């Protein structure tokens, strides 16, 4: 590797060289913290030297020669052999900030009527024919830097974050310089110090793996994200002519920015996309998936199927095909999962119940430009919902870690497969898991009342709310009634006022215990069954508390349809409700008391509704 170091002061860095921002580089992302650190470093050394020589009576240009030099760090460049352009591989954050400082100094020189005005101006830009060229050539944000240079009031920011950060950081820098440089003599001493005593090392990388250098050397202020490093290592393999001809940098930025719009405070969503994509196509076990954790930007190049290492042809094909298709699919899934859609309800349900594996499994099922994309989205999201629900309801759900293991088994079976194969793979894995957990080797059916009848309150809290929310939606859908509370609120809201909580129909009181022969153990086990539970809003739940059953019935009025089905008035003149009962042969009925018999009937009714919701299941 041929790396040529060159020690330069700022006067030499910005003399007659135009620095182009390479595709490896992110936009100008420095915010106030790294800018303030840089200013603190510079003024700490300047003030220290200025104090030392404050009594020396020499002109600014002579006294500054006595100041010690100060090392600012390194920047890396690469000269394109075809165009002759010098690209900044690493360090543009710092170089851009140094340019903003120079622009501030230029305006201050004009205010002080300093003879250094022209010298400072030459460190910011030069002219080629009729055209002014800024040494830091942010081609897409020239209007912003030009406006800052001209000192106009209205500063355009462009479409990206570079222009915005330039304007914001310029204002921050200007305030600091105005505070520090309070007279003309001190100002001019600082200018000589800034241009002649601040030193930065240029590393010019000639014939080497530039993306590797980009990965190793990060700006001190803001560490690169995995996807930013990946961008450099991918686009760095492609010649500039192809990058421009296919708009690959613009393509990358468009997809990344769209996905990152879904980012949380702590993670960049695009990193989640790459991890999910790589795992979906190349991981068959949890252990196998770990190579595509946060270090995926390294592991991707060792994958023999992708062939992206030192292979510009395959990189270009990947970007123009798989990257576009799967990133667009991922975007679509993010949007559908966060906004309930009639055709893809289960996507929303799985997001609501925090089943993140659906994104990876749908990516696994779909081939590039898959004509069956809609069908595969529907079947995978439905089967995940069905599988988790049936495992939970038969108390065979081994927790998130076990389901994660199962999801990789499924992922291998459904990778790039047709819809029927996908459906069968889920069912096979579900049956195998039930056989093992229930200890029934010849089990054939995925849902049986024998393994559901005692299921109750010990289920996951969110899942219990989800289950009753789905029952509520089933009733609303089949009786032409609107949901009184949307499914998101039923599942996600848990506050004391507007949240929904699990309510026991059979309260803790003597009257109810007598219905169970005063057998306390039997009483507690029975009242906790799902048939003895329902959802109530916070205040309603609080008010019903340990009331007798008759008083509870009163509090169930105008709550949820499932709750109201206990009341006699829910059956009067309700034709749609009766049609639903007849259609599905459901044993809905009102109860004037609620003991062991009624509880058993309610549990069986719930079982029948669950079978209908998660279709294709038989007892």
Q: In the predicted model, is pLDDT for residue 313 greater than 90?
A: yes
Residues 569-597, mean pLDDT to the nearest whole number: 93
Predicted pLDDT at 223: 63
Residue 501 φ/ψ, nearest 5 degrees: -135, 155
Predicted pLDDT at 130: 74
Predicted pLDDT at 619: 39
Task: Give tens-digit pLDDT for 268-299.
Answer: 999 999 999 999 999 999 999 999 998 898 88
SS3 509: coil
Q: Considering the chain, what is the average pLDDT of its residues?
A: 90
Residues 591-602, mean pLDDT to the nearest whole number: 96
Percent of the chain with pLDDT over 70: 94
- Which band of pLDDT confidence, cut at 50, 70 and 90, is reported for residue 1? very low
| Cα distance between residue 359 and residue 273, in whole Å | 9
Contact 546, 507 (CB under 8 A): yes
Q: What is the dihedral of CA 276, 282, 283, 288, to 10 degrees?
A: -110
Residue by residue, DSSP assigns 340-358 as: --GGGHHHHHHHHTT-THH
Scanning 181-225, the segments in alpha helix (DSSP H) are 184-196, 210-216
Predicted pLDDT at 423: 96
26 or 323: which leads in pLDDT = 323
Residue 433 φ/ψ, nearest 5 degrees: -70, -40
> What pTM value is reported for the model?
0.74
Residues 548-577, mean pLDDT to the nearest whole number: 92
Partner residues linked to 9 by β-bridges: 199
Residues 217-223, mean pLDDT to the nearest whole number: 49
Radius of gyration of the chain (CA): 34
- Which band of pLDDT confidence, cut at 50, 70 and 90, is reported for residue 215? low
Report angle CA 316, 319, 324 to the nearest 5 degrees. Answer: 150
SS3 237: coil
Residues 47-75, mean pLDDT to the nearest whole number: 86
Contacts of residue 67, defined as CB under 8 A and 6 or more positions apart, other chains included, come to: 46, 49, 50, 53, 193, 197
Predicted pLDDT at 219: 43
| Cα distance between residue 157 and residue 168, in whole Å | 10
Residues 3-11, mean pLDDT to the nearest whole number: 80
Residues 23-45, mean pLDDT to the nearest whole number: 86
Predicted pLDDT at 544: 53
Residues 514-534, mean pLDDT to the nearest whole number: 94
Predicted pLDDT at 439: 96
Residues 245-273, mean pLDDT to the nearest whole number: 91
Q: Is 536 left (phi over 0), alpha (psi -120 to 50) or beta?
A: beta
| Cα distance between residue 112 and residue 208, in whole Å | 47
333 or 219: which leads in pLDDT = 333
| Cα distance between residue 429 and residue 442, in whole Å | 14
Predicted pLDDT at 294: 82
Q: How many CB atoms lie within 10 A of CB 264?
A: 8
283 or 229: which leads in pLDDT = 283
- Which band of pLDDT confidence, cut at 50, 70 and 90, is reported for residue 617? very low
Task: Give tens-digit pLDDT for 451-508.
Answer: 999 999 999 999 999 999 999 999 999 999 999 999 999 999 888 788 999 999 999 9
2 or 149: which leads in pLDDT = 149
- Which band of pLDDT confidence, cut at 50, 70 and 90, is reported for residue 402? very high
Predicted pLDDT at 90: 81
Contact 32, 216 (CB under 8 A): no
Q: Per mean pLDDT, which range of 140-154, 450-464, 473-487, 520-534 is the poorest?
A: 140-154
């Amino acid at each position: 590797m041929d790396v040529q170091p060159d020690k330069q002061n700022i006067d030499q860095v910005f003399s007659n060289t135009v620095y182009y921002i390479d595709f490896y580089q992110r936009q100008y992302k420095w915010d106030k913290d790294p800018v303030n650190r840089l200013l603190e470093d510079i003024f700490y050394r300047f003030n220290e030297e200025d104090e030392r020589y404050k009594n020396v009576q020499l002109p600014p240009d002579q006294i500054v020669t006595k100041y010690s030099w100060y090392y600012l760090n390194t920047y890396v460049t690469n000269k394109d052999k075809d165009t002759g352009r010098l690209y900044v591989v690493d360090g543009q954050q710092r170089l851009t900030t140094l340019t903003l400082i120079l622009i501030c100094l230029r305006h201050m020189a004009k205010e002080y009527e300093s003879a250094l005005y022209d010298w400072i101006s030459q460190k910011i830009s030069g002219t080629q024919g009729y055209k002014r060229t800024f040494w830091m050539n942010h081609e897409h944000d020239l209007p912003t830097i030009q406006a800052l240079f001209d000192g106009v009031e209205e500063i355009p920011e462009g479409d990206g974050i570079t222009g915005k950060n330039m304007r914001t950081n310029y204002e921050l820098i200007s305030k600091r310089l105005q505070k520090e440089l309070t007279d003309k003599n001190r100002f001019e001493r600082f200018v000589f110090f800034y241009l002649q005593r601040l030193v930065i090392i240029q590393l010019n990388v000639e014939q080497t793996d530039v993306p590797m250098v980009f990965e190793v050397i990060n700006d001190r202020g803001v560490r690169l994200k995995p996807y930013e490093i990946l961008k450099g290592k991918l686009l760095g393999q492609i010649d500039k002519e192809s990058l421009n001809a296919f708009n690959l940098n613009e393509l990358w930025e468009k997809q990344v920015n769209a996905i990152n719009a879904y980012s949380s405070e702590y993670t960049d969503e695009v990193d989640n996309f790459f991890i999910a994509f790589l795992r979906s196509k190349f991981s068959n076990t949890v252990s196998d998936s770990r190579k595509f954790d946060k270090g995926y930007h390294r592991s991707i190049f060792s994958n023999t199927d992708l062939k992206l290492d030192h292979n510009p042809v395959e990189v270009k094909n990947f970007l123009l095909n798989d990257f576009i298709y799967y990133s667009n699919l991922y975007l679509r899934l993010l949007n559908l999962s966060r906004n309930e859609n009639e055709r893809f309800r289960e996507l929303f349900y799985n997001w609501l119940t925090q089943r993140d594996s659906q994104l990876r499994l749908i990516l696994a099922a779909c081939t590039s430009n898959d004509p069956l994309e809609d069908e595969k989205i529907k079947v995978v999201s439905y089967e995940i919902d069905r599988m988790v629900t049936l495992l939970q309801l038969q108390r065979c759900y081994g927790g998130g870690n076990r389901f994660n293991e199962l999801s990789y088994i499924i992922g291998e079976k459904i990778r790039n497969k047709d819809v029927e194969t996908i459906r069968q793979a889920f069912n096979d894995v579900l049956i195998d898991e039930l056989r093992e957990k229930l200890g029934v080797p010849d089990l054939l059916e995925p849902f049986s009342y024998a393994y559901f009848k005692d299921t109750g309150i010990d289920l996951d809290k969110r899942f219990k709310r989800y289950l009753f929310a789905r029952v509520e939606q089933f009733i609303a859908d089949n009786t032409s009634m609107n949901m009184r509370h949307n499914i998101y609120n039923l599942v996600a809201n848990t506050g004391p006022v507007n949240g929904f909580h699990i309510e026991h129909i059979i309260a803790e009181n003597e009257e109810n215990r007598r219905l169970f022969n005063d057998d306390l153990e039997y009483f507690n086990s029975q009242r906790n069954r799902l048939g003895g539970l329902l959802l109530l809003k916070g205040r309603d739940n609080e008010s019903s508390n340990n009331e007798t059953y008759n008083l509870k019935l009163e509090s169930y009025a105008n709550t949820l349809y499932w709750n109201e089905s206990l009341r006699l008035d829910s059956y009067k003149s309700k034709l749609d409700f009766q049609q639903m009962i007849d259609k599905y042969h459901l044993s809905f009925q009102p109860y004037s008391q609620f003991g062991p018999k009624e509880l058993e009937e309610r549990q069986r009714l719930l079982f029948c509704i669950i079978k209908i919701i998660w279709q294709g299941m038989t007892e």
